[in-house]
Amino acid sequence: MVAERIAAAGPSYLKDNFIRILQGCAILRQEPEFANLYFEPRQTLEAAARHFLRFRPRLIRAARRGTEAAAPLYDDYRIAVMNDLDTPQFRHQLQRRLGQCMDRLTYGHDAEKIEMVLFISTLLSDEVSQLVKGKDALPLGVYGLATAIYEDSFDRAMEETKDARETIDDALYALWCAKHNREDLKTITAAVDQVSAFEELAVRIETVPTLALAWQRQARYLIEEFESQIIHSGLTLAPNPFTPDEVALAMDRMERRHLSKPWSLSRYSAVLAAANFARCIQETLDEVVSSQRIAEMIEMFKSVGQACLENDDDRLHALVPQIQAAICHLQSEQASSRNQVLGLIFSLSFVTALKDADALGPHWRRLFKRIERSRLLRRMGRTAEL
């Protein structure tokens, strides 16, 4: 069958099938001959970290434009990393396993895989590699099978190497987490569907290794989703974790330091005012939030989480893992001023206080008029809606 396919294509076979087979041979990773073939964990992490420094600015910019924009650049990055991991010993092992795979497949009827093994084995030979690309062998990073081995090797290194997180850049770690986002969320959603009590989810996260890994990788994503969804879902936090007097404390601090000073730029720049008010909120949080207060908020979130778990509204039910992520974030040993969840809850209380515009002082009313006229903030608002 393979011979007939090649004969039918004629002289154009190589040109017509080159890219298809190079990319498609990633499916061979599932064959038993390649199941335990990996790059060495420490070398994988170090090569990945070393080359990421050069690609980092461009990868971050491309990622902001979307997955399609980042994919070609990530391919270039991975080729550079795999060039460091490419050795004659690894190629020999790959060739040997391809031969073993061919011996097994010839007793079956999977013409597509046989074609791939034949094609890849030939390309990996020194003679053909030199014909394809001058004096240099075709980089390992263009073979789908080799890239699948690399990705699995990186995953294994991240999971099993003790200082893996310290070895790689924060942005590379975020990239790795994003790559597994879809599969991790499926794991987390399945876990939520299996519990009847909200607090069971935390127990499962601690005791089920696959769920624990998925949770670790998506913790930051879940917090970001919590921030964006808590407003749009209509979720109500009751009782309100921060009192009107505590919100007023931050507002008074802002007024004394900035809004009441005729020379303060915060009176004339909405963006600068927002930055300075954020600092006032941080100082207020450090002042009013105690460990007992956090414990009370955690209990409040557990009640809200149970209510969402039992709710038939899909939007509220989907908040369950996000609420658990918020609890985990509150339980971290961060200072109150640097805790994202505390900052979000306080900001929501502040927004509630603003609804009573008549109670605002003249400096705050003047600032809000300026904010309403701010082109930058209007553009930010439209972007958020999109």
Token look-up 């206080």 returns 353
Question: What confidence score (pLDDT) does residue 380 get?
Answer: 41
Q: Does residue 240 sit in helix, strand or coil?
A: coil
Q: What angle do CA 125, 128, 132 make, to 5 degrees?
A: 130
Tell whether the torsion through CA atoms of 257, 261, 263 and 268 is positive or negative.
positive
Give the C-alpha separation, 247 to 192, whole Å. 35
Residues in the chain: 386
Question: What confidence score (pLDDT) does residue 28 get?
Answer: 96
Amino acid 43 reads Q
Would you say 363 and 258 are in contact if contact means Cβ atoms under 8 Å apart?
Answer: no
Q: Which residues contact 250 (CB under 8 A, 6 or more apart)?
A: 277, 280, 281, 283, 284, 346, 350
Q: Does residue 24 sit in helix, strand or coil?
A: helix
Nearest Cα neighbor of 27 from 118, 125, 149, 175 is 149
Question: What confidence score (pLDDT) does residue 384 get?
Answer: 40
Question: What confidence score (pLDDT) does residue 382 get?
Answer: 45
Would you say 112 and 103 are in contact if contact means Cβ atoms under 8 Å apart?
Answer: no
Q: 212, exposed or middle or buried, with CB in 10 Å at 0-12, 13-18, 19+?
A: middle
Would you say 281 and 343 are in contact if contact means Cβ atoms under 8 Å apart?
Answer: yes
Compute mean pLDDT per 10 residues along the chain, 386 residues long, and list them. 56 71 94 95 96 93 80 94 94 94 86 89 73 67 96 96 93 93 96 95 95 95 88 72 88 88 81 88 93 92 93 88 95 87 86 65 74 53 41
Give the C-alpha separation, 230 to 222, whole Å. 11
Q: Name the percent of the chain in helix, strand, coil, to the closest 5.
A: 80, 0, 20
Would you say 24 and 114 are in contact if contact means Cβ atoms under 8 Å apart?
Answer: no
The full set of domain ranges for the chain reads 2-179, 182-385
**Single pTM value for the model:** 0.81
Question: What confidence score (pLDDT) does residue 89 get?
Answer: 93
Question: What confidence score (pLDDT) does residue 53 get?
Answer: 94
Would you say 267 and 318 are in contact if contact means Cβ atoms under 8 Å apart?
Answer: no
Q: Does residue 241 sit in helix, strand or coil?
A: coil
Nearest Cα neighbor of 218 from 180, 162, 264, 164 is 180
